[in-house]
Amino acid sequence: MAKRLAAEGAKVVVTDIGAPSGEQFTRQHIGTESEMDEIVTEIKDAGGTAVAQICDVRKESDVAATVLRAVREFGRLDIIVNNAGIGYLMADILNLEQADWDTVLDVNLRGVFFGIKHAAKQMIAQGGGGRIINIASQAAKRGFPGAAAYVSSKHGLVGLTRTAALEFGGHGITVNSICPNHVTTGLGAWQNDHFSAARGRSHDDYMAEMRGRIPLGRVGLTTDIAGMCAFLCSGEADYITGQNLDVSGGEEMH
């Protein structure tokens, strides 16, 4: 999404947590500072403009500082994409620890609340409207056994998106979420391993079954999500707000 928006002319602040912080964050890979720098370099090499900023979305002060950085670098903030999320703390409800529940909700839902709050404050102060894009999930539209915290956080984003759309519509700020089904990112690959093992299936069987459920016959690509993101940021989407849009090859239809 950062690369696609930069290609469309957006000046981009690339953010990630940058380093593990807390026990839950050492269990899986998280985005490092050098990975952020690589994206910035790719964007610059392609003729775009980008800077990197470490931001732990669980901390309101980090999110506020990231918005300030965008304004300091580029003069204003027109778009925020609330994308940070964790999907690797999975357990059925009877075995789900409070610490894991809290971490998932803190990143996936509270982090987006901070992003919306500080971006909207800036957009209202500067005038001219804005675009807020939240990355929800297919898990915002249905339950998944073994994923109560993740599913709850993503369902929460639907309500947060609708409420923010109502609160900020008068300022010309649109607020929408994108609901992807499976995309084989770092998080997606981990989930494939986890769920295929949990169901006693081979990885290939599990993926074939998944493709079989999808009317368009393939899993999602990061470019599919980036395309929807670019559309929602464009003038073509001026009259769309408060929506939670499936990008799922037809797997979700509501």
Ligand X SMILES: NC(=O)c1ccc[n+]([C@@H]2O[C@H](COP(=O)([O-])OP(=O)(O)OC[C@H]3O[C@@H](n4cnc5c(N)ncnc54)[C@H](O)[C@@H]3O)[C@@H](O)[C@H]2O)c1
Residues annotated as catalytic (active site), given as ranges: 150, 154
- Token pair recorded at residue 80: 């925020």
CB of 184 to ligand X, least distance (A): 7
Q: Which is nearer to ligand X, 66 or 174 (CB)?
A: 66
Extract the tokens encoding 190: 């981990």
Tell me how far, at minimum, the Cβ of 28 lies from ligand X, in Å: 8
Nearer to ligand X, 137 or 161 (CB): 137
Torsions phi, psi for 118 (to 5 deg): -80, -35
- Name the minimum Å distance from CB 95 to ligand X: 21
For residue 216, give both structure tokens. 């368009």
* Nearer to ligand X (CB atom), residue 55 or residue 123: 55
Residue with the shortest CB distance to ligand X:
85
Residues that bind ligand X (CB under 6 A): 16-17, 30-31, 55-58, 83-87, 107, 135, 137-138, 180, 182-183, 185-188
Closest to ligand X by CB, 83 vs 241, is 83
Q: Least distance (Å) from ligand X to the CB of residue 206?
A: 13
* Cβ atoms 243, 138 nearer than 8 A: no
Task: Quote the CA–CA distance of 43 and 11 in Å, as a whole number.
Answer: 10
Count helices and strands (H / E) in the chain.
9, 6
- Laid out side by side, the sheet with 244-247 consists of 79-82, 130-135, 173-180, 244-247
Chain-centre distance for alpha carbon 216 = 23
